[in-house]
Structure 1
Amino acid sequence: MATNRLRQILENNEFALGTFMQFPSPEIVEVLGYTGFDFLIPDLEHSTYETSQIAMLARAGKSVNLPSLVRMWGVDPRMIIRVLDIGVEGVHFPRVSSEEEAKSIVKYVRMPPIGERGVCPETREGHYLSLPLDDYERRSTDVVIGVMIETKEGLENVEKILAVPGIDLVQMGPYDLAFSLGLPTKGRSVGDVCADPIIVEANERVIKAAEANGVKVMQFTSSVEDVSRKLEANPQHRIFWYLTDGIMITHAFRDVTRKCEALGFRK
């Protein structure tokens, strides 16, 4: 049985709620753990993180039993190995558009003989050479590989992408995909874009391709009501990413000030 908590969630088909982390704050990670979130997604694509800050977030996550699924900025083998050496539980790749790209991801994440990742058990992942080599190898093999379908080309190739051995998890990026497909976005909220029939159809295609290849699905949500609707439609797909740390903080602060204004405290 896998000891990687993120892989356990996938294998046991558990309900799991995570969020993208764009603030380099271990305190926010701890709050997420204390309030019942299940995993975090440190975001290298849309943040100013250094590798050392990803390590800090991963350590904070470990303290509250939150595995880390790091969103990379692309298929860069040098950055992939630096993130994996931290000992994170998963890596997640944006804008994957082809079967060849998916194969490259598996190659760079897995050690020989499956892939070409460099071996270095002296790192945090290998407990600084205190972990037996077979355990170090198992930890590497347990790392979850996720891909995001966010482009027109990626959607056209989704069946081939998810057929690549080693891909564990897929997520559709609705906003990026909407731009790539040329859908109108002016004046529309993220919720409006997600409800667009073309995006809904695209999400169904991604889910169908995932089911055909034994790949788990992570779905975007912005409300508990939306989670309920999606679970009713696809009860077997129980992994969700809920907004970002920044959006949740903004909503909480804005809710307080708007209530003060509504009650006439601020003229």
Structure 2
Amino acid sequence: MEQVPARIRANTIARKLKAGEDCFGVCMRFASDAVVEIAGTVGCDFAIVDMEHEALGLAAAASMIRTADLCGMTPIARVGRRYETIVDPLLSAGAQGFCLARVRTRQDVERLVEAVMYHPLGNRTVYGIGRSGFYGHGIDEDQWAADANDGMYIEIVIEEAEALENLDAILSHPRVNAVQFGPKDLRQSLGMPPAERLAEILGDAARRVEAHGLSISRSIAGPVAPRASGSVPRNVGDMLVAAPTGLLVGALSKMAQSIRQPAA
């Protein structure tokens, strides 16, 4: 019997976003395959492994990436400064997306694309014997590389004043799928303006994202409010991100308060 070459599982979130569907997932800030599995069980679309803020080792990250993939979710790695040394192992583990923090210029996006895409889009290390390449079993390397490029999701985080100056050049990069804002770091980078001024700056930046037809990634902690109507019609979906850390803290805090409250 002729063997059919193995194919990478299709990354569905980019297609859903373009079709106007919101995607829902979790951002993992602690190592737990069980929580990732629960997220997949309840129907999440993606799982982000936060390698920027947290002291997660590569082995723990790779395990959560594997779990997300096996549960039908898109595994995404969030990376920060000096990410170059961890990109290759994350790709080999099966990451199908990257969220790049601290973006300042279009060149920052180009460097990431260069690292995570194969020719002709980048110069990703050709390593087809890891998990993402089915351990070298039954793949057509050219088709595998093309599938990997086609399915790579790129999200950028705008949290630097310099990024606002270069925003349209950044947003016009053809491989950017979604944009997230980091309001606290952005406020610090801008010299700590009043909250009202920061809201104006973020509102203007969000409208520019919408004008470029890109999705916005936003954190949620409960029921999702309707999207605020803007001047630009939205034809794309958003990335809705829940943090299990926050959900656990909120739920346990309320439970502790109710237990410790004196009886009326």
Fold-level similarity (TM above 0.5): yes
Do the aligned partners of 2:213 and 2:234 also contact (CA within 8 Å) in 1? no
Check 1:20–1:154 CA distance in 2 against 1; reply closer, same or farther (3 A cut): same
TM-score, scaled to structure 1: 0.84
Deviation by residue 1:107-158 (Cα, 9 ceiling, x = unmatched): 1121122212111111111111122223311332121111100111112211
Aligned length: 252
Deviation of 1:65 (Å): 1.9
The amino acid of 2:89's aligned partner reads: R
For the residues of structure 2 that align with 1:202 and 1:35, how far apart are their CA atoms?
36
Tell me which moved more, 10-19 or 39-48: 10-19
Distance, in Å, in 2 between the alignment partners of 1:18 and 1:143 is: 17
1:32-111 matches, within 5 Å, as 32-74=39-81, 76-111=83-118
Counterpart position of 1:161: 170
By how many angstroms is 1:237 displaced? 5.2
Residue number in structure 1 paired with 2:22:
15
Which stretch of the first structure deviates more once superposed, 125-134 or 89-98?
A: 125-134
Measure how far apart 1:232 and its partner are.
5.0
- Asked if the contact 2:100/2:155 (under 8 Å) is kept, the reply is yes
SS across alignment from 1:128: helix
Once the two structures are TM-superposed, the CA of residue 34 in structure 1 deviates from its matched residue by 2.4
Q: Identify which range, 49-58 or 211-220, moves more after superposition.
A: 211-220
Aligned partner (choices 147, 153, 156) of residue 144 of structure 1: 153
Q: Which has the higher relative contact order, 1 or 2, with Cα contacts under 8 A spaced 6 or more apart?
A: 2
Distance (whole Å) between structure 1 residues aligned to residue 20 and residue 61 of structure 2:
26
- 8 A contact 2:20–2:235 mirrored in 1: yes
In 1, the alpha carbon distance for the partners of 2:228 and 2:24 equals 13
Percent of aligned pairs with the same amino acid: 24
One-letter amino acid matched to 2:210: E
One-letter identity of the residue aligned with 1:171: Q
Separation in structure 2 between the aligned mates of residue 259 and residue 29 of structure 1, nearest angstrom: 29
With over 3 angstroms needed to count, the CA separation of the structure-2 counterparts of 1:129 and 1:231, relative to structure 1, is: farther
Could you say which residue in structure 2 is the equivalent of 1:133? 141
Q: Secondary structure of the equivalent of 1:13?
A: coil
Q: Report deviation, 1:80.
A: 1.6
List runs of 5+ in structure 1 lacking aligned partners: 186-195
8 Å CA contact retained: 2:49, 2:64: yes
| TM-score w.r.t. length of structure 2 | 0.85
Please tell me the residue identity of whatever aligns with 1:52: A
Q: Does 1:261 align with 2:260?
A: yes
